Structure 1
Amino acid sequence: MNAPTGIGARVKRKEDQRFLTGTGRYVDDLPLARATYAHFLRSPHAHAKIKSIDTTAAKAMPGVVAIFTGKDIADAKVGGLICGWVVKDKHGQPHKAPPHPVMAVDTVRYVGDTVAMVVANSHDEAKDAAEAIKVDYEEKPANVDLAKALDKGAAEVHAAEAPGNLIYDWEIGVKADVDAAFAKAAHVTKLDIVNNRLIPNAMEPRAAAAEYDKGTGNYTLWSTSQNPHVLRLILSAFVLGIPEHKLRVVAPDVGGGFGSKIFCYNEETMVTWAASRVGRPIKWTAERSESFQTDAHGRDHVTHAELALDKDGKFLALKVETIANMGAYLSTFSTAVPTYLYATLLAGQYTTPLIYANVKAALTHTAPVDAYRGAGRPEATFVVETIVSKAAKELKMDPAELRRKNFIPSDAFPYQTPVALQYDSGNYPPIIDEAIKIADYKGFEARRAEAKSRGKLRGIGFSSYIEACGLAPSQVIGQLGGGVGQWESAQLKFNPTGNVQILTGSHSHGQGHETTFAQLVSDKLGVPMENIEVVHGDTATTPFGMGTYGSRSLAVGGSAIMKAADKVIAKGKKIAAHLMEASVADVVFENGTFKVAGTDKAVPLGQAVFAAYVPHNYPLAEIEPGMDENAFYDPANFVYPAGTQICEVEIDPDTGVVEVISHTAVDDFGNIINPMIVEGQVHGGIVQGVGQALLENAVYDKETGQLISGSYMDYTMPRASDVPSFKLGYKVTPCPHNPLGVKGCGEAGAIAAPAAVMNAVHDALAPLGVSHVPMPATPLNVWQAINGASK
C-alpha cells in the first residue's frame, strides 16, 4: 500500500534528492560560454571623499576586459537603487530618501561600499586587477553608534537629503491617552534593551550572472533572488530602464535567503548593465567576507519601553520608543520593517488596551539594514516578552500566570488591537498550557535545586509570540506606502497524458515548496505526487508573482494554487458531464474522479484532461480545448500564527557559559500540510533565535567604522552542539479567510526564541542580583554582569 501523500502527510522532500546528491543547479554552477568574471573593489573606509580613481595600471593587467567606476555609471544615466516602501512620519510627510547610487561616485559611506567593478577572463585576474586600482580617499569622521546617531554633531551620512541622520520620526497610537493610563497605574515596569545587529549568512552567498543577446536586445539575469519578478520590475522600471519584456530574471536553486535575498543589490544591477558593454556573459559570486560587509543586515534597534499595570496585574498601557538603524542607504523594504512590521505587533497576544510607539529611523555609516527572518516581528516580540517577564518578576508573579491573565480570550476574535491590526483567529491559553506540560514546568524548581548542588545556575524563560504573515491585502499595503501588490499567482498546466505542472509566482530557497505545493494538488485533484512538477523562479515561464518572504508562500501562494485547482475541477465537470451524458449540476468530484451522484457513472480526471486535448467527443461550442488554468489570490488579511516557547538554561557562574538544556515550542500554524517540513522550519528558526540570543553580533568599531565581526573567526554561528533536541507541539485554529486554513510557519522559531532564551538567562541570574544582560548573552557579557552585580 502506498504511503499517503496528501494534506497532513509526512512526505519526504522531493527536491532533497538533487540537493543531497550534488546535482542542484545554483547560479555559480551555470556553464556560460565565453563567460567573464566580475570583482568589485570596495571601500576600506566607513566615510570618505573619493578624490580620484586611477585605473590605468589595472586595465593593463592580464585578462582584464573592462573596468567601470561610479562616473561611468553616472555618465550612462543609470538610476539609483530604490526603497520600495514610502513611510510617512508623524506629521504626514514622506520619509527622507537619500540617493543610493549603484556605485559610489564621490563619497563612500560604509566599509564595503562599491567603488569599482573589474571584469576579466577569470575571477583571479579580476581580483588581481582590482588590487591595482589606486583610489585617493580623504577620510572623514564615521557615525556608527546607533544610540548617538541622531545626536547633534554626529557625522552626517547624507547631510543635504537627511540632515541630522533622521529618515523619519513615526508614531502609532495616542500618546496622551497612554500617558493618562500610566498616571493611574499601580505598577510600571521599565525596560532598556538593544536588539543586536545580525548578519544573515545564508549557506549560498549572493551571486549573479548576466548575458546580453545583441541580436534580440534581450538580457538574462540569473540571481540568488527570493522574488525574481519583483527584481525584474525594479531593474527595468527604476534602475536600468530596460523594457521589462526584454529582461528575463531566473532564480535557480537558491541556498537559503532569510530575507537577505529579497532586495535589489548593486552587484546584480552592475553585471546586467555591463553584460551589454563587454559583449560577453559576466558572472559574480560573493566571497564570504563580501557577504559579511554587503548583505543587508538585520535587527539593530535601541529601545526604551514601559508597561503600566493595575493592582491585579492587568496591562493598562504600553509605550515604546525605538531608534532603528537603516545603515548608510535605504534598502528595498527597509523603511517598513521598524514601522508596519514592528510597531503593529506590540500588542502581542495581550489585551493591552492602549499602546503608543515612536520609531525614529537613523542613518549610520554601516551596511544597509533590512528584513531578516521575521522582519520586525522578532524585534516586537523581544520587547513585549522581555518586559512582561520583567513585570512578573517585579510583581513576584508566575510569568505564565501573568501572561494568562492578559491573553486575548478565544471568544474575542476577530480582535482589533490598538495598533491597527485585527487578529482573525486564535486561542492562546491551550498553547501555553501544552508548552508547560511538555516542558515539565512543575518540576523546574527541583531541577534548579539539583543544578545549584553542582554549582550551576538554572533558569527558565517564556516567550508567547504572535506574528503577522502574508502581507495583505494589496489595497491596504498600498495605503501604507508599499510599492507592490501582495497577491500571488499560480497556473496549473496539464499535458494530454495527465501529468501536471504547477507554475507559481512564489519561490523556494529551502522551504520545500516542490513537495508541499505538489501535496496540495495531489490531495485536491487526486494526481499522484510523481506526476506533479513545481516550476518557479523564472520570469519567462512562470506567472508574475511576488516571491517568498514573510511566511507567505503557503497562505498566499498555496491559496492561489487552490483557486487554480478549483477552475480545473469546474472545467473538468463540464467535460465529464458531456462524456457521461449527465447534467453538470449532478456531477461531483471525489478522489480524482468525476461521478454522477446516485449512479455508478464515473470519469477519472485523466480521461477528462485527455478529452480536453483530443476533443473528438467534446462540447467545443461551449468549452475551449486544453486544461490550463490560472488564478490570482489577494488575501483579505494577514494570517496570525502564534505560540509559546519555553527555554531552560544552565549557567556556569565562574565562566559565564550558558548552555541551553531544554527548549519547547508549541505553535498554532493553522492547518498543517506537511508536519515534517513544519518541524524543520521550526527547528531552523529556533536555532537562528538561539544564535541571536547567545552568539551572533555584528559589531562595528565606533571610531573607524570597521566591521570587526567580519568573518567566522569573529561572528559566532550556532552549531548542533549549541542546541538540544527541541520539544515541539501544535494547537490548531484554522485561518478563517484562506481556502487552506493555514497561517505560515517559516519565521516563528526565530521570532520567539530570543526572548525565551534571554528570559531564562535573567531568571538564572536573578538570585545573584543581576537584572540585565545585553544580548547576545555571551560568556563575557554574562561573566561581566555577574561580577558587576557582586561589587
Structure 2
Amino acid sequence: MLGVASEEGAAVCEYFENNERVWCAKWPASDQWEDNMPKDHGIGASPKRREDVRFLTGAGNYTDDINQRGQTFAAFARSNVANGAIRSVNTSVAEAMPGVVAVFTGEDFVDVGGNPAGWYIESRDGTPMKEPKRPVLAHGKVRHVGDAYAAVIAETLDQARDAVEAIEADIEELPAVATCAAALADGASLVHDEIETNMVFDWGWIEDNRAATDEAIKNAPHVTTLELVNNRLVPNAMEPRASIGDYNRGTGDYTLHTTSQNPHLTRLLISAFVMGIPENKLTVIAPDVGGGFGSKIYHYGEEALVLAAAKKLGRPVKWTADRSESFLTDAHGRDHVTKIELATEEDGTFIAIRTETLANVGAYLSNFATVTPTFLHGTLMAGNYTVPNVYVNLKAVLTNTAPVDAYRGAGRPEATYSIERVIDKCARELKIDPIALRRKNFIKPDQFPYTTPVALEYDIGNYDAVMDKLEEIGDLAGFAARRAESEARGKLRGLGVNSYIEACGIAPSNLVGVLGARVGLYDAATVRVNATGSLAVMVGAHSHGQGHETAFPQVVAEMLGIDEGQIEIVHGDTSKIPFGMGTYGSRSLAVCGSAVVRATEKIINKAKKIAAHMMEAAEADIELKDGTFSVAGTDKSVAWGEVALKAYVPHQFPIEDIEPGLEETAFYDPANFTYPSGAYACEVEVDPETGKVTVERFAAADDFGNVINPMIVEGQVHGGLGQGIGQALLENCIYDDDGQLLSASYMDYAMPRADDVPFYAVDHSAKTPCTHNPLGVKGCGEAGAIGSPPSVVNAVVDALQSGGHDVTHIDMPVSPSRVWAAMQK
C-alpha cells in the first residue's frame, strides 16, 4: 500500500518488514523495495477474507435463515428452580391450543441413551469418574434453572411459545447447591441422587510427583501462596444456538442443520449414544456459524429433540434460542477456585508449584467438561519455566448450575492465570523485577526438546526473544514517564506483564487415548481437482469466524502455484466432507491444514505422473512451478489446467500406471501438541476516587510459528484480547445460593464495548516454527484470551501498590467496587 502525506508535501510509503507494516519518509532502495513488499497471494500474504463479502452484505446462510416446506417450530418449557422433583407435567391445555402440533415431555425420552462425556477420567486413587446420564428432556428431576422438561411443536413460533406458557408443571423445589464448596459440604443436596455424591472425580497429576513436590515446598527458602477465583463466563456468541430437524420417511434419512463447531462429532453422539440412528442415515450440516468460542462444540438435547419430533410428525422442526435461553443453557466457561503455591530459592529460582483446584462442572457433564480442567489445564501448570516439581490436584464438582465446558482457551487460561499471578506476587515478596524473575526461570533455546514435570514435551521455543519483542513494542522503557504523567493527573498507573505457553492441536490419538479420550483427534481433507483445473477442498475442520475459506486456499495455491480464486473450501456438511474432528483448540491449520498439505502432495505426485506421460518424460524429471509442469533442463511444459483435463480425458493412459481422475484424501494425526507462546504487557490507570480501571495500553508479542495470513492472525489476537480484558474487568456469571442466575441478560452481564479496550500493539515476528507439522504452524486463536487476564490484574495490583495500597490480589472481574473496597482496606 502506498500513500502521500500532506505535511510539507513529503512522500511517504508503507511497506512490510517481517510481515509488519513499516512507514518510512522516503522510498526504500529499489532492491529493498522488492524484498519488503507484502505478498499478494499464497502463504504469508494478507488477502481480504473472501467469506466477509457475504457476511458484511447480509448474504450469509445461517441456521435461522433456513426455512423448509411444511416447517414447524419448537419452544421449550424450562425450569425456574435450580433443583426440583417433577411431580407432574400437565400438557392438556397446551395441546388444545391453536396451531399446536405436538407436546413432548421428558417421559417421552426415558429410554433414550445419554449424552456422554468425551473423556474418561479416573480419580487419583484409581476409582472411575461418576458419569450421570444427561437426558434430552429432564424427567424425574430438574437440575438447573433453564433445564428443559417439555417441548411444544406448533405451526408458528408465537403459537409454540404461547403454548409453553400453558403447560402446568408441579415441581417441588429442593435445596440447591450453586458452588463447589456448597456441593461438597456435609449433608449437601445431591444433584444426581443415583451417583450418591456431587464429586465427579478427585484427580491428581502427576500422582508420582506428589511426595517430591510436597517435600520441596516444605523445605523451600521461600513459598508464595495465593488463593484466587477464575470467574465463570457466558460465551455470548453473536449467533444463538439453532437447530432444524428433518426426516425423510421414504428413505429413512435424517437431516440436522445446526450451529456446530464439530458436525461429525454431533452426528456420532446422536447416532451412537443418544438416539440410536444408523450413522449413515444421519446428515449433520453446520452452515455459516456466527461464533462459538467452544460453546458450540458439544451436542445439546435440543438437537435430538427436533430430530425425534420431525420423525414423529413427518415435518421439519425448527428451534432458535433467544438470548435468555443462551444465558441459561449454553455451556459456560471457567469457574475455578484455586490455591497455588510457588516455592523458590532466595534468588528467585523456581523449585516447585503445587495447586489445589475446585472445578465447577455444572449440573451435567458436557462433552469436554472432564478434560478441560484436567489434561488441558494440569499439563500446562509448569508454564514455560524450568520448575522441577509440579503437582496438580483437581476436584470436579456437580452443582445446580448450567453445565461448564471449554471456553476459548479451555483450561490453558485457567493454568496461565494461576501461574502468572503467583509469579507476580512472588516477585514483590522477593523484591525482584517481575520480568527478570520470569527470564531467570525461562526454558532456554538450547534445552529443547524439553520435557516438563507434568508430562508434556515442548518441541521448540525462544521465550527470551518473545519477551525482548514485548519490551520493544510495548515501550516498557518509557513506562516510568507515563506513570509520572498519570500521577500528575491524580491517577494511579500500573504495568502488568505475563508470559504464557499453551498446548494446541490436541494429539496424538494414541496418547490421548491412553489419557482417556473417547474419540480420535486427527483431522482429514479431500482435494478434488475438477476437469477445468479448479479445486474443491473438503475439510473436516469447521469455520465459524476463523477465515478458513481464505487461509486454506492460500496453502493449496502456494503448493500448486495457481490462483487462490480457483480453490473452493467445503466444510460443515457430513455428507460432503471426510470424517474430521471440527474446530477448537486452535487446531485448524496445525491439524486439518496439515491434512490439506498431505492430500495436496498426493495430488501433485499423481499430476506429475500425468504430466510425464503427456510430455513423454521420466516422472523424476518433472517440476511444478507457478502452475506449470516442465521437464527439467528442457523447454517442454504443460499448464496445470491441461494436466487436470487430461486426468478426466485419459486417452492413451497407461492404465497399469495411472488411474483416471484427480482426487485424493489424507488423514493427519499429529505427533505432538503445538506450543504457541507469548509475552503480554498491559498498562492501566486506576481512579483512586472511584476504583474505575481503564486499560490505557496493551502490547502482545506471540510466537505462533509460521503464519499463513498475518491479517487473520492479528484479528484473532485482537478478538482474544477483547475477551480476556472482558473477563478481567467486566464479565461475571453469578448464581445466588438458590441457584438463580442473577446475570441472565446484558442488563446484568457486562460485555466489553469498544471504549473498554485500547488500540493494541501486536507482533508475531519472534517465531520458532513448529518442528513436527508440515506447515510449521502452532495456532493463534486462543492466545489473546489466555495472556490478557493475568496481565490486566497484575497491572491493577501494580497501580494500587504504586499508590501505597498494600493490595496483593483482587479477584476477577476487577470491578470499580472491588478495587475501591481493596483500597479502603
TM-score range, shorter chain: over 0.9
Match among 350, 369, 373 for residue 385 of structure 2:
350
CA shift, 1:619, in A, is 2.3
1:746-785 to structure 2, matched below 5 A, reads: 746-766=781-801, 767-785=804-822
Match of 2:78 in 1: 42
Match of 2:190 in 1: 156
8 Å CA contact 1:96, 1:162 repeated in 2: no
| Matches of 2:760 and 2:144, distance apart in 1 | 39
Match of 2:108 in 1: 72
Letter in 1 for 2:390: I
Match of 2:64 in 1: 28
CA shift, 1:99, in A, is 1.3
1:716-755 Cα distance to aligned partner (Å, 9 max, x none):
1011110010001121100010000000000000011000
Match among 146, 171, 194 for residue 180 of structure 2:
146
Match of 2:523 in 1: 488
Letter in 1 for 2:130: K
Letter in 2 for 1:284: W
Match among 441, 466, 469 for residue 501 of structure 2:
466
CA shift, 1:777, in A, is 0.4
8 Å CA contact 2:144, 2:739 repeated in 1: yes
Match of 1:167 in 2: 200
1:226-275 Cα distance to aligned partner (Å, 9 max, x none):
01011001100000000000000000000000000000101111101111
Match among 749, 759, 777 for residue 742 of structure 1:
777
1:189-230 Cα distance to aligned partner (Å, 9 max, x none):
000000000000000000000111010000000000001011
1:631-710 to structure 2, matched below 5 A, reads: 631-702=666-737, 704-710=738-744
Match of 2:250 in 1: 215
1:615-655 Cα distance to aligned partner (Å, 9 max, x none):
12432231100111111100000000000010000010111
Give secondary structure in 1 for the equivalent of 2:424. helix
CA shift, 1:770, in A, is 1.6
Give secondary structure in 2 for the equivalent of 1:299. coil
Total equivalences in the alignment:
784
Match among 102, 118, 133 for residue 152 of structure 2:
118
The yes-or-no answer on 1:102 pairing with 2:136 is: yes
Match of 2:459 in 1: 424
CA shift, 1:31, in A, is 2.1
The yes-or-no answer on 1:501 pairing with 2:536 is: yes
TM-score, normalisation: structure 2: 0.94
Q: Which moved more, 1:145-154 or 1:609-618?
A: 145-154
8 Å CA contact 1:490, 1:564 repeated in 2: yes
| Matches of 2:642 and 2:668, distance apart in 1 | 29
Letter in 2 for 1:387: V
CA shift, 1:509, in A, is 0.3
CA shift, 1:588, in A, is 1.9
Percent of matched pairs sharing the same residue: 59
| Matches of 1:635 and 1:627, distance apart in 2 | 26
Give secondary structure in 2 for the equivalent of 1:566. helix
| Matches of 1:89 and 1:637, distance apart in 2 | 25
CA shift, 1:162, in A, is 4.3
| Matches of 1:770 and 1:320, distance apart in 2 | 22
| Matches of 1:181 and 1:23, distance apart in 2 | 61
CA shift, 1:136, in A, is 0.7
| Matches of 2:571 and 2:663, distance apart in 1 | 16
| Matches of 2:204 and 2:242, distance apart in 1 | 38
Match of 1:243 in 2: 278
| Matches of 2:135 and 2:276, distance apart in 1 | 15
| Matches of 1:533 and 1:2, distance apart in 2 | 24
1:121-153 Cα distance to aligned partner (Å, 9 max, x none):
011100000000000111110100223321212
CA shift, 1:92, in A, is 1.8
8 Å CA contact 1:692, 1:775 repeated in 2: yes
8 Å CA contact 2:346, 2:430 repeated in 1: no
CA shift, 1:181, in A, is 1.1
Letter in 1 for 2:822: A
| Matches of 2:234 and 2:156, distance apart in 1 | 29
Give secondary structure in 1 for the equivalent of 2:335. strand
Match of 1:595 in 2: 630
Give secondary structure in 1 for the equivalent of 2:675. coil
Match among 64, 83, 88 for residue 122 of structure 2:
88
Match of 1:10 in 2: 46
Letter in 2 for 1:403: R
1:528-585 Cα distance to aligned partner (Å, 9 max, x none):
1111110000001111111000000000010000001100110011111111111111
CA shift, 1:2, in A, is 12
| Matches of 2:590 and 2:227, distance apart in 1 | 36
Letter in 1 for 2:58: G
Letter in 2 for 1:377: R
8 Å CA contact 1:579, 1:617 repeated in 2: no
8 Å CA contact 1:97, 1:162 repeated in 2: no
8 Å CA contact 2:38, 2:45 repeated in 1: no
| Matches of 2:181 and 2:112, distance apart in 1 | 35
8 Å CA contact 1:333, 1:370 repeated in 2: yes
| Matches of 2:39 and 2:562, distance apart in 1 | 14
| Matches of 1:581 and 1:251, distance apart in 2 | 46
| Matches of 1:334 and 1:162, distance apart in 2 | 20
1:18-59 Cα distance to aligned partner (Å, 9 max, x none):
000100000001121110000000000000111111111111
CA shift, 1:159, in A, is 2.9
8 Å CA contact 1:611, 1:618 repeated in 2: no
1:6-405 to structure 2, matched below 5 A, reads: 6-74=42-110, 77-163=111-197, 165-173=198-206, 174-405=209-440
TM-score, normalisation: structure 1: 0.98
1:36-92 Cα distance to aligned partner (Å, 9 max, x none):
000000000000111111111111111000000001111xx2112211210111022
| Matches of 1:581 and 1:596, distance apart in 2 | 10
8 Å CA contact 1:522, 1:529 repeated in 2: yes
Match of 2:611 in 1: 576
Letter in 2 for 1:647: C
| Matches of 1:382 and 1:415, distance apart in 2 | 22
Match among 726, 736, 745 for residue 711 of structure 1:
745
CA shift, 1:453, in A, is 1.6
Cα RMSD of the aligned pairs, angstroms, is: 1.1
Match of 1:436 in 2: 471
CA shift, 1:403, in A, is 0.3
Match of 2:446 in 1: 411
Letter in 1 for 2:516: G
Structure 1, unaligned stretches of length 5 or more?
A: none
Structure 2, unaligned stretches of length 5 or more?
A: 1-36
| Matches of 1:382 and 1:699, distance apart in 2 | 20
| Matches of 1:241 and 1:175, distance apart in 2 | 43
Give secondary structure in 2 for the equivalent of 1:65. strand
8 Å CA contact 1:612, 1:618 repeated in 2: no
CA shift, 1:3, in A, is 6.5
Match of 1:532 in 2: 567
CA shift, 1:441, in A, is 1.1
Moved over 6 A (4+): none
